[in-house]
Amino acid sequence: MSFRIASSPHNHSQQHTCVLMQKVILACLPGIACQVYFFGYGVLLQLVLAILTAWASEALVLRLRQKPVLPRLKDHSAMLTAVLLAVSIPAFAPWWVIVLGTAFAIIIVKQLYGGLGHNLFNPAMAAYVFLLVSFPQQMTSWLPPLTLQAQQQQWLDPVCAVFTDFSCAGYSLTQLKTDIDGMTMATPLDTIKTDLSTGKTLTESLQQPVFDSFGGLGWNYINLAFLLGGLWLWQQKVIQWRIPVAVLGTLGLCSLLGYLIDPDLHASPLFHLLSGGTMLAAFFIATDPVSASTTLRGRLYYGALIGLLIYLIRSFGGFPDAVAFAVMLANLAVPLIDYYSRPRTYGHKPKGSF
């Protein structure tokens, strides 16, 4: 018998990596369904392009590294990276955006570091930051929810818009972003940040059609759907509770303090928790076993750091939805967190003891 030493991810649920990845992808389905319902079938097109690109990129690098291709593709890690990136970008983003981002995630962030278990950053979030910094216009071209769109989507509009930047009827992406009141649509988080910078109060900003009774129209239900999927992952013992609870608890506490200090400048905890990619980050991204902390106490610190960074960047930074930046900064801190949160060695004697 030979003893095999392997790098993370290590999991004690007695499930193969491919099974764990499959369950995470399945848990994403409620959130994906909500995105399709509110923003149209362009979400599915982005998913298809991302998955095909991930498979092709993974196979190419594995072939160049003279590694077996099919066994590595069957672990579904590349597919999961593609899914997480595809649900993070606008539904009508140009085709080359998702292709370039997915290739960057697989080739540079994952395989360049040695493949699954060796990457420093979460591949999907690193690719998202790369795209957002490089192509801010395309990455912020979110459509209004279907009920607010001035130009109603037809079946082939996502295909035409993604590959030609125009709908089948000839409307440009700028025209498609216009709501029924003739206003160019932005995400709820971006709308609030822009309005506050122009002197409006939070109450005035929340009167716009893009907001629902308890958050951004559509985004609140998308977050609830990802919350449902995340709870199922916890019930299946795919993830542990520490990181999601630390992320959501810290974000909720910070936003509550800000809201109590000045409710005209700081959104409520419910709005922060159900806007943007909060639930996706807490249950699907921060819990990545490769780039997250590996100790029990360290996971609490790691999750709390992500929640704090999300609030600080959303409130005082230049990017409305701070999830990707918060996760990447926390990834950098993981070695330090693990070092100072290591459990005491069995039989260890404190200094000065007899």
Pairing of strands 215-216, 211-212: antiparallel
Domain boundaries, the chain: 16-146+154-179, 186-341
Given a cut of 80, whether residue 352 has pLDDT beyond it is no
Distance CA 101, CA 50 (A): 8
Encode pLDDT of 224-233 as tens digits: 999 999 999 9
Alpha-carbon distances of 295 from 201, 250, 288, 306, rounded to whole Å: 42, 19, 13, 16
Residue 23 confidence class, pLDDT cut points 50, 70, 90: very high
Name which of 220, 192, 224 is nearest 320 in CA terms: 192
Name the pLDDT band for 207 (thresholds 50, 70, 90).
confident
Residues in the chain: 354
The predicted model scores a pTM of 0.88
DSSP of 143-179, one letter per residue? PPPGGGBSSPPPTTHHHHHHHHSB-TT--BHHHHTBB
pLDDT score of 146: 78
What is the tens place of the pLDDT at every residue in 238-272?
Answer: 999 999 999 999 999 999 999 999 888 888 899 99
How would you classify residue 322: left for phi > 0, otherwise alpha for psi between -120 and 50, otherwise beta?
alpha
Buried residues in 168-193 as b, exposed as e (16+ CB within 10 A): eeebebeebbbbeeebebbbbbbbbb
